[in-house]
Amino acid sequence: MLRFDDFRPGTEIARADMEVPAEAAEQLHRAFPDLAAEDASVELTIAMLMRAYTRLVAPRPPGNIHAGQEMRIHRVLTPGERFQARADCIDKETKAGRNWVRFGLVLETAAGPLVDAKMRFVWAQ
């Protein structure tokens, strides 16, 4: 279980080689049938960012709150595409009795960056 005390600002938490499932576009369309085709690739890329977070920053204690994020999408992902994901601890603080952690997530290929994101959480323990 990843506890607040385990995080070290400025250090890598984990990295992994990942792949967008071939059926991802179809699953996205079933989940959001009204999603315009031009928006689907962006949504697919965001879904893969969240999948990377849940895989790399784990196991998590119950009760965390996703309090915000910012991201820059350099290029969208496509079904079947392989990429590398990395999660870093940017910083952490205890404020008003709550533990706050900010993560950096990067998705990239050998050809260059796909997504750079910062995600902020209230960490339960």
Three-state DSSP at 95 gives strand
pLDDT of residue 54: 97
Q: What is the pTM of this model?
A: 0.92
pLDDT of residue 24: 86
- Residue 65, pLDDT > 90, answer yes
pLDDT of residue 1: 94
DSSP state of 1: -
pLDDT of residue 37: 76
Per-residue model confidence as pLDDT tens digits over 82-110 = 999 999 999 999 999 999 999 999 999 99
Per-residue model confidence as pLDDT tens digits over 1-51 = 999 999 999 999 999 999 999 888 888 888 888 988 778 899 999 999 999
pLDDT of residue 35: 85
pLDDT of residue 125: 84
pLDDT of residue 11: 98
Could you tell me the two tokens for 78?
A: 């496509």
pLDDT of residue 68: 97
| CA separation, residue 42 to residues 45, 50, 61, 71, 85 (Å) | 5, 13, 29, 12, 17
